[in-house]
Structure 1
Amino acid sequence: MVCVALVACGDTSPGALPSDARPPYPQSTLINSVSFDWSTHLRFADGSDNWPITWADDDNQYTSWGDGGGFGGSNRKGRVSLGIARIEGPADVYRGYNVWGGVGAEREAQFTGKSYGIISVDHTLYLWRSGAGSNSTAYDFQRLYKSTDHGRTWVGADWQFTREDGFFVPTFLQFGKDNAGARDGYVYIFAPNLKTDKWAVHKPGEIVLIRVPGDRLFDRKAYAFYAGTEPDGTPGWTARVEHRKPVFVDEINGVMRTSAIYNRGLGRYLLVTEHSHRSRGNIGIYEAPEPWGPWSTVLFQTGFGSPHVQANTFFWNFSSKWTRAGGEHFTLLFTGRDANDSWNTVEGRFNVSNRDISLQEGQNPP
């Protein structure tokens, strides 16, 4: 195992932070460090990237990729703009199957774009489609799709969030198998605020929180945006997107693609994002007792995985299904450029200082 704590500033070697980089939040008092076992690293689906993931009612996991042929494909072989795959099996012995698009898929892909958010809720898969192409086209619109046959066919909502709404690449907060561990009747969504027209880390970095009843995801009027804390300390919500306020801020380092999961064993929400510069392994992992914070830093690093993999990774996702041993052991998915332009997994462990935390924290909403 390779143990990684908060990396000190001033070193310019791979994995070190830029001299002006500082974590935006204090170090976690719960999670002392993170260990990655690179002997467990697995790589498939060369040429396909992104890979958000959810655990569905059929006990399989579902994921999406961009610009490649998926499992068994390459950057050219079976290439689609957006594809859907199914992951069967445990963390150490699993297989990926192309469901929608890619080599040998069960169904052909029907539309283009990219996705950074997928979730299973009440036997239905939901997917955010961010734009119709690659890179900065993700700013054009965020449209929700659903599938009632485990990804074989998709139907889009008759509305979408637009560039004028001011956020991009929304991702779902994962609550376990078919969202069964949800804290309440809502589905929660994190999304970075749009700060530039370039496909780059957005500075100052702001991430907003959206919620919608789990049985009304296709109803635009049901969406509410975090609007700050009320005088009694409870979170406020607004139906007006222009009145939203961020739940996470990194003014100096910025943010980009994001993933989020509730770790029931630790009783903490984990938020993962990219900072400083994109596609350089600039990972930030943060934990909080509630989806709106307050946040603490678990890991703030560049060159993630180096020297085991090239220091060009991005978009990291924890698997709900493959989180085990009281939440301390996990499997992390990631992608990147060059050889990392693929599906990658590595097993790891949170080194926890206090196992007497309340496992009920964050489960009773205001």
Structure 2
Amino acid sequence: MRVRRRAASSLAALTAGVLLLPACGAGGSSPITAVSIADTPTAIGVSDGDLWPSCWSDDDALYAANGDGAGFGSVTSDIVMNRITGSPASDDLAGEALGVGDDLGQVWTTEAGYTRKPTGMLCVDGVLYLAVQDLAPDFDRAPNATIARSDDHGATWTWDRSAPMFDDGVLTTIWFADYGRDAERRPDAEHVYAYGLDGSWRDSFTDAVADPTELFLARVPVASVQDASSWEFYAGEPGDDEPTWTSDVAAKRPVLVDERRVHGMTVLSQGGVTYLPRHERYLYSSWTEYTVELYEAPEPWGPWTSVLSEDFGEYPWTADRIGGYATTVPSKFVSDDERTMWMQSNVCPCAPAGVTSYWFGLREVRLG
């Protein structure tokens, strides 16, 4: 399937509001001092679904999993794995569906109505990993999560079918730090890093669980990603000179706490963390129902600073300015100078937004 592109006027439309930061940082890194974001997605893959966590693999393809749709294929499911090639900056963005539903994971919760949702992906040493959570039918609780593995670039997947890796709503929304193609830019060759939320993937609209206001960090040896007993959790203060780790998930401490509410909703949600090697900084993309939230940090454990809170206003939206959820910035789509990058986000047709963006859709983000 080929990319569909919006009008050039939309491509150039960047928000005027830019948040400036003081020029401070650690270890020679270059803080992100200004961010602007396009009003709409402008590079749109002809596909169906939302969420789209992704990773850049050793074969130069982007692997991305969508929820509730057919992805780049023809079979509708609660979860689909896709292989995407090309670039949003040109007309060669294309995709194919590789697996659906039971090929990729299982629902652990016995209560009716729960479905599988992809929350994170990792490509490292030619192996793909996919984090999958159980999500309640009202989208307000995520009680379980596990990680599937593929050694053949998404053709087949394996996981422990006896029990989820994480349960009771503890670290059940998981995504991995994006360190470039096949994680080649990770600073620690032995480990990979993962971020997580407790309870829910975003503000729990019905307050079925506590709204997430804390972002957690974990690390795990590359050889043991699927072994929950091998995971270590950050237990220090955000931005400590030296990180402190614990094997006790109950003793984990947040690397970011943000209790702000925008339009009544908390601002920490399922998103992505992308490493920018030229800046030597990390960029966390988050969102609320009506806003896009961006944070930056010099280390995986912080300190994290808000660099953008872009308010698209409450519904209804119009086609020339829309927000979106499940925001990620794939490292494959970051320019060499890191001045331009592309963010994926979605708007569900089930929402009273007045518009929809229920496909693999990218918009430009520019750093000053």
**TM-score range relative to shorter protein:** 0.7 to 0.9
TM-score, scaled to structure 1: 0.78
Partners in 2 of 1:161 and 1:250 — Cα distance? Answer: 27
Give CA deviations for 1:139-197 in whole Å, capped at 9, x if unaligned.
12111110011111110135534442523311110101111111102111111232786
User: Mean Cα displacement is larger for which, 224-233 or 54-63?
Assistant: 224-233
Amino acid in structure 1 at the alignment position of 2:330 = S
Contact 2:204 2:211 in 1 (8 A): no
Structure 1: give runs of 5+ residues left out of the alignment: 9-25, 352-366
* Correspondence for 2:99: 100
| Structure 1 residue 90 corresponds to structure 2 residue 99 | no
* Correspondence for 1:246: 254
Q: How does 1:196-211 map to 2 (within 5 A)?
A: 203=211, 205-211=213-219
Q: Give the Å deviation of 1:252.
A: 2.5
| Structure 1 residue 268 corresponds to structure 2 residue 281 | yes
Contact 2:255 2:302 in 1 (8 A): yes
Partners in 1 of 2:348 and 2:122 — Cα distance? Answer: 25
Q: How does 1:9-88 map to 2 (within 5 A)?
A: 27=21, 29=23, 30-36=31-37, 41-71=42-72, 73=74, 78-88=75-85
| Structure 1 residue 123 corresponds to structure 2 residue 136 | no
Partners in 1 of 2:45 and 2:282 — Cα distance? Answer: 28
Q: 2:193 aligns with which of 188, 197, 221?
A: 188
Amino acid in structure 2 at the alignment position of 1:323 = V
* Correspondence for 1:113: 116
SS in 2 for 1:86: strand
Contact 2:199 2:212 in 1 (8 A): no
CA spacing shift, 1:61–1:133, aligned 2, 3 Å: farther
Partners in 2 of 1:230 and 1:330 — Cα distance? Answer: 26
Give CA deviations for 1:266-313 in whole Å, capped at 9, x if unaligned.
2101111124xx3x3x21101000011111222112228x75556351
CA spacing shift, 1:260–1:110, aligned 2, 3 Å: closer
Contact 2:66 2:80 in 1 (8 A): yes
Contact 1:334 1:344 in 2 (8 A): yes
Q: 1:218 aligns with which of 213, 219, 226?
A: 226
User: Mean Cα displacement is larger for which, 237-246 or 253-262?
Assistant: 253-262
Partners in 2 of 1:148 and 1:72 — Cα distance? Answer: 22
Amino acid in structure 1 at the alignment position of 2:254 = P
Partners in 1 of 2:226 and 2:163 — Cα distance? Answer: 8
CA spacing shift, 1:28–1:156, aligned 2, 3 Å: farther
The two structures, once aligned, show a CA RMSD in angstroms of 3.1
Partners in 1 of 2:341 and 2:178 — Cα distance? Answer: 14
* Correspondence for 2:365: 348
User: Mean Cα displacement is larger for which, 340-349 or 39-48?
Assistant: 39-48
CA spacing shift, 1:314–1:204, aligned 2, 3 Å: closer
Q: Give the Å deviation of 1:46.
A: 4.9
TM-score, scaled to structure 2: 0.78
CA spacing shift, 1:297–1:307, aligned 2, 3 Å: farther
Amino acid in structure 1 at the alignment position of 2:64 = T
* Correspondence for 2:327: 316
SS in 1 for 2:182: helix
* Correspondence for 1:329: 340
Q: Give the Å deviation of 1:341.
A: 1.7
Q: 1:171 aligns with which of 159, 172, 175?
A: 175
Contact 1:69 1:80 in 2 (8 A): yes
Contact 2:54 2:65 in 1 (8 A): yes
Q: Give the Å deviation of 1:256.
A: 1.8
Structure 2: give runs of 5+ residues left out of the alignment: 1-11, 24-30, 107-114, 350-355
Amino acid in structure 2 at the alignment position of 1:182 = R
Partners in 1 of 2:118 and 2:238 — Cα distance? Answer: 33
Amino acid in structure 2 at the alignment position of 1:247 = V
Partners in 1 of 2:327 and 2:238 — Cα distance? Answer: 32
Q: Give the Å deviation of 1:348.
A: 3.0
CA spacing shift, 1:198–1:160, aligned 2, 3 Å: farther
Identity %: 27
The count of corresponding residues between Structure 1 and Structure 2 is 322
Partners in 2 of 1:297 and 1:66 — Cα distance? Answer: 28
CA spacing shift, 1:290–1:333, aligned 2, 3 Å: same
